[in-house]
Amino acid sequence: MRTRLFPACLFAILLSAAAAPPAPAGEPIEAKSAIGAVTVYLDRALVTRTAAVRCAAGRSEFVLAGLPAELADASIRVGAKGATVRGVRVERVFLERTEAAEVRRLEDELTALHDTEAAIRDDLGVLEGEARFMKGLSASAPEKATRMLSEGDLKLPDVAGVERTLELVTKTLSANAAKVREANRKLRELQPRIEAKSRELGEKRASGRLEQKKVTVALEAAAAADARLELSYLLPGAMWFPAYDVRADVDKGELELVYYAVIQQATGEDWPGAELTLNASRPAERTVKPEPAPWLLGGAPLPGNLAGAQELLVQQAGIQGNSLSSFPQIKQQYGQRAGWNRKAHANMLDNEEQVVRLFRSVAARGTSVAFPVPARETVLTDGKPHRVTIAVEKLGLASDHSAVPALSLATYVTGRAANTSKLPLLPGDASVYLAGDLIGTSSVGFVAPGEEAAFYLGVDETVKVTRKLDSKLSSIKSWGKRQRVEAAYSIVVENFKKRAVTVRIEEALPVSQDSAITVKIRKTEPDPAETERGVSRWTLAVPAGGKGTVNLAYSIEYPLEMAAQVEASPAEAANPVMMLKEALKK
């Protein structure tokens, strides 16, 4: 079941001590609850717990204990099926020590590892004593025989006996050394396990909660009956952002888009096997319709003028300040709480910028989007990324080839696919695969259902581009105090595919911004499809196994005193005039 409550039994009653109804005759009964569903927002989570209870006739009270201390009291909602909710009471509980079963389990495992280590060291002690004894025996046997001979106890040393003793000592010491090596090997393997388990226990102890909350629910039933409680509450410390795999087959015109969600949470409680819903909004944000303000130019600013309207828009978009200030719940709520799991908090901050980018995009469009996760998932409260699959979509793919020969002779491929799914694509990173091979990463912007998305699909090696200088039509001449540069190029596109392709060629042509500099475009063949701000674009239809050509020529005439300005390199490439000079030298 998704995170919804029973409509006829929906209550949000927080009773003060003065307003609380009289307590029942018996003590409240502890009800064991389990997390059934979670809605993950961009900066928090709505958790829904369920509990099966047995109501007596009349009024009964049930306690749901062990809840996170950080849950928002005002967000609590309680529903019941089989009984009527008559009251809800929330209390804070302080513990002397953490009661986490996971901590106790880790303590037992660490103790067992230390016991194993102690047993190995005991064995090493025994082996060390054995080695000392055998070495002493090895030294004493010949000395004893010699002494006995000198004292007249023996006529001759028992050579055979000495040899047997030395052989026994050698074998025993060899076996002893092998056992010592094996014990030391076990110690070396054991030490990293002890260190890892100690770190894990330290993290769990740090995240152990010494402060909890409990919710007491009063139910009323006409007769003894089974009932089902549903409790929901908001918790800070959870977030999610989208990620994608883009798998393209250009020849088949197919694109597979795998839509993932990366979920991270440090709410203080694990979500085992929960039904997840992902919501691209922040429920704490105040959402209002923007109001236009008069745009008055000149004069004193009036209250509510343009500056005030701009401030409101900035606040609504959630882009004030830096990224961390946009999500204070993640940055401060846990980073400053004593004893909180700082490791989990740090794990979440690693990807916070992704969430901020997502929120800005969604807020700018005024969109709130919910995504149900198809399968139940377990997400631990360790802040680590947990990736789940939201959907796999098969889309039709159209591809564009383009080249900027002055900067690179590579032919770049861009895929275009209409989002025919019912889900919008939200801003996120994408891993791009072409013919099964990972070619790099890209990014996806906001793409509404029915809108077209573009994906970079790498370089096509089967479409070759060359850009050649025509040295016969190119020259650099100087006379008096002026200089003229004439350049002519041919750009050739060769298609080695078995099908025709359309290639867009882009070339920056010179544009004069000074009356002392004269620019003439002498040839553009064929005519460019468009020219904008000095950049011309040609669209060449190149047949299979064929070629397409663009010829262009231009001249630049300028005073010699402006040579440094004309020959200065633009930021993105070497200066064409300087390149021409180098080419003409060859």
Q: What is the pLDDT of residues 402-461, one digit of tens each?
A: 999 988 899 999 999 999 988 889 989 999 998 888 988 888 888 989 999 998 888 889
Structure tokens at 288: 């209002």
The pLDDT value given to residue 576: 72
Q: What is the pLDDT of residues 54-107, one digit of tens each?
A: 999 999 999 999 899 889 899 999 999 999 999 999 998 876 555 556 677 888
Average pLDDT, the chain: 80
* Helix (H), strand (E) at residue 198: helix 159-207
Q: What is the pLDDT of residues 292-347, one digit of tens each?
A: 666 655 555 444 444 444 444 344 444 333 333 344 444 444 444 434 566 777 77
CATH class, domain 463-585, is mainly beta
CATH number of this structure's domain 101-206, picked from the four choices 2.60.120, 1.10.10, 1.10.287, 1.10.3470: 1.10.287
Q: What is the pLDDT of residues 196-223, one digit of tens each?
A: 888 877 766 665 556 789 999 999 999 9
The pLDDT value given to residue 334: 44
Backbone angles phi and psi of 108, in degrees to 5? -65, -40
Structure tokens at 79: 């529903």
Cβ contact 451:419 at 8 Å: yes
* Strand duo 44-55 + 225-236: pairing: antiparallel
Range list for CATH 2.60.40 in the chain:
463-585
The pLDDT value given to residue 332: 46
Q: How many CA within 13 A on the CB side of residue 522?
A: 12
Range list for CATH 1.10.287 in the chain:
101-206
Q: How many residues does the chain have?
A: 586
Which distant-in-sequence residues (6+ apart) come within 8 Å of 174 by Cβ? none
The pLDDT value given to residue 282: 66
Omega before 543 cis (within 30°)? no
Q: Name residue 475's amino acid.
A: S
